[in-house]
Amino acid sequence: MSKELIKKASKRFETIIKEQLQRVEEMKKPVSMPDYATLSPIIIGICWGDGIGEIISKHAQKVLEYVLKDEAAKGKITFKDIKGLTIENRAKHKKAIPDDVLTEIKSCHVILKGPTTTPQAGDKWPNIESANVAMRRYLDLFANVRPVRIPHKGINWCFFRENTEGAYVLGSKGFDVSDDLSIDFKVITEQGAERIIRMAFEYAKKNNIDKVTVVTKSNVVKTTDGRFSRVAFRIAKEYPGIKLDEWYIDIMTAKLIDPARRKDFKVMVLPNLYGDILTDEAAQMQGGVGTAGSANIGQKWSMFEAIHGSAPRMVKEGRAKYADPCSMIRASAMLLRHIGFNKKAQKIEMALDVCGQFEKKMAITGRDTGVTGEEYTAYLLSWVDNPGLKARWEQGIKAASGA
């Protein structure tokens, strides 16, 4: 055993521990969340991303601009295009988010972000960190909120995925100790676990939901997942009207698709990696990852995005214009709710249900067998301000449920 290898690895581990202890101290500092009702204008940044990201982001931007046209005309809303998150620009600067782009992002109150390409081993790009992971860290977007609704199956889930810890936050900090040994790291802090778990309980309380489910693997990953579990049960004591149960991630992936069990789940709170896995499974049940949006909430900034990637293969094969924009449009509805435009968000959400689950007059297939994203967006917008939207939505729910 080489003492030099151990010494070198220990030094790198020491650096990681120091960084994380400093992060803990930052989380202890009080920060108040913005009051959007008092902001004028609210600056909405549109980060187009790359791959299909640029295309579907523009479709979502069109929807936002349509429903907020009166507010924009009065100067209450401002849109800001941010173009520097392409993989080419990030590779050029050898940074997950170039400095000038990060400055632009921080000048906004909320961000709608398109998918971005993350380099992987064997491709042509430098080994830079995921732009998503970096943005969540730089803006301290600790809560990844992903709702999944399948009305006719009685499914109305909301996932609270911790965003700044777990296995992902140190994903680029792992290293090869030797030619035979590679090590990665996972981190859970008391403060990080508490703020995401408390947000899940507050959501349940606000929406009169009587149960929260914490998902871990604390029976095996006893230290980090064990802490997440202990914090959940500690916080649960502050919410006597809400029951807390715990499921392990492996069996949870099975129970989520179990018709006899899945209706029992309502609000779920999870560490980072498990949240990523489970919400993709849930999105597939809703109609595919192309249908699901997500919110990344921090104490100062918030970012809204699709849950899928940039699909470079679609671009390479010339199919980008057929990419499904619904994930980004759903994310834009979440953005609207976050800044206080609940009725406008509800119209978009109902239109998504009518077009995608009930009417189905246009199909997005990702190929020329279906319509383009532009055509589907126009179809959706034809329903957003349709006086019969609510009635058609209610009719669809009733028919699909067999009532």
Model confidence pLDDT, tens digit, residues 200-245: 999 999 999 999 999 999 999 999 999 999 999 999 999 999 999 9
**Whole-number average pLDDT of the chain:** 91
- Look at residue 8 and tell me if it is in a domain: no
Q: What is the CATH number of the domain that holds 351?
A: 3.40.718.10
The boundaries of the domain holding residue 387 are 41-141+298-403
- Cβ atoms of 196 and 189 within 8 Å: the answer is no
Q: Is residue 209 part of a domain?
A: no
d(CA 92, CA 126): 9
The size of the chain, in residues, is 403
Residue partners of 207: CB distance under 8 A and separation at least 6: none
Tens digits of per-residue pLDDT, 286-341? Answer: 777 666 788 999 989 999 998 788 998 899 999 999 999 999 999 999 999 999 99
- Give the DSSP letter of residue 153: G
Does 397 reside within a domain? yes
Residue type, 265: F
Q: Return d(Cα 190, Cα 185) in angstroms, integer.
A: 17
Residue 375 in domain: yes
Domain presence at residue 392:
yes
pLDDT of residue 401: 67
CB atoms closer than 10 angstroms to residue 183: 12
Residue 150, pLDDT score = 82
Alpha helices in 164-255 (DSSP H): 190-206, 224-236, 249-255
- β-partners of residue 77 are 42
Q: At what angle do helices 342-353 and 326-338 cross, to 10 degrees?
A: 160
pLDDT at position 402, please? Answer: 65
Residue 157 lies in a domain: no
Flag whether 253 is in a domain. Answer: no
- Exposure class string for 90-107: b at 16+ Cβ within 10 A, else e: beeeebbbbeebbebbee
As a whole number of angstroms, the distance between CA 332 and CA 101 comes to 21
Residue 201: HSE in the Cβ half-sphere, 13 Å Cα cutoff: 22
Report the number of distinct structural domains present in the chain. 1
Cα gap 80→43, rounded to integer Å: 7
213 domain-assigned:
no
- Torsion angles phi and psi, residue 397, rounded to 5: -60, -45
pLDDT of residue 136: 86
0.85 surpassed by pTM? no
Q: Which helix (H) or strand (E) holds 159?
A: strand 155-162
Q: Which residues of the chain have pLDDT under 50?
A: none
